[in-house]
Amino acid sequence: MSGESYGGHYVPTTVKRVRDGNLVAPASQKINLAGFLVGNAWTYMPIDNRGAVDYWWTHALISDDSYQKVTNSCDFTSIGPLSKRSDQDCNIALAEAQSSFYDINIYDIYADVCHSSSRMYIEQYAKYGSPVHVAMSKSAEKSLPYEPCIDSYVTAYLNQPSVRKSIHALETDYQWTQCSGIINYNYSDVEASVIPLYQEFVRAADMKILVFSGDVDAIVPVTGTRAWLATLNLPIVKKWSPWTVSKQVGGFVTQYWGLTFATVRNAGHMVPLTQPERALALFERFLKNGNLDA
């Protein structure tokens, strides 16, 4: 089982449901769950939020002054890309910080941004009050050497009548979009921690787990992921070391007792989109032998 971003919640909780079901299901109905993978995974709001702000500062997206204002005025349990609850001082500090990188692609900070009208994921998050995405939605048109609008092409492709017919979606009035305006996030779930599930899975020691992070994502960045992994206090089996693809460093990996953590170099929030070769190697090697050795 695998997922990314908010999959950091629904993958572990689905794994939990499958495991619990297997305990009572007859042999013929048990699901052979060998393990799971999550990438740039939303896990625990206070740690992920603080990790994001630390990432912005350490990657030169915000000033020292903005960093201090945010860290001094914000309760990290009540802010974030999908949360609207914070006090006025925090709102002002966040707005000031984010104004400095409004024209940066927060999902891949070294890629250019798309200004297409079909940027539904940005517009949707902006609709629900995310100040990061509100700022991004106001960015100006410019000439781009990099093609960042692949999502626009996917949207156009999936809404062609011939494609809709082939996937049996022709008889609906709904258009395919990057983000639904009908299905909303459940805030109580956004705020919940899934760290206890990792603790349970590691204790059971009966399946493979890979947590990976594209290292240029600034929305659920590697800094937050490393911070919540540290709370598990897992013994290190194999120390931080590079893993390679095509004689290049694909990222770095640490093997803990019961869990593997890997970074994917120069990958954004959607690792397979921005680094497909490295993502495929990561996926195939982990499925094959549980680690990233070639």
Catalytic residues: 5, 217, 269
Alpha carbons 241 and 47: distance in angstroms, whole number: 24
Sheet (strand 236-245) strand order: 2-4, 35-39, 208-214, 259-264, 248-256, 236-245
Candidates 144, 143, 126, 127; CA nearest to 135 is: 126
Distance, CA of 161 to CA of 85 (rounded, Å): 42
Q: Which of 75, 106, 113, 108 is nearest to 93 (CA)?
A: 75
In degrees rounded to 5, what are phi and psi of residue 137? -70, -15
Strands 248-256 and 236-245: antiparallel
Give the number of C-alpha atoms closer than 13 A to the C-alpha of residue 47, restricted to the C-beta side: 19
Beta bridge partners of 256: 236, 259
Q: At what angle do helices 64-73 and 88-99 cross, to 10 degrees?
A: 160
* CA distance linking residue 284 with residue 272, whole number of Å: 13
From CA 214, how far away is CA 271, in angstroms rounded?
6
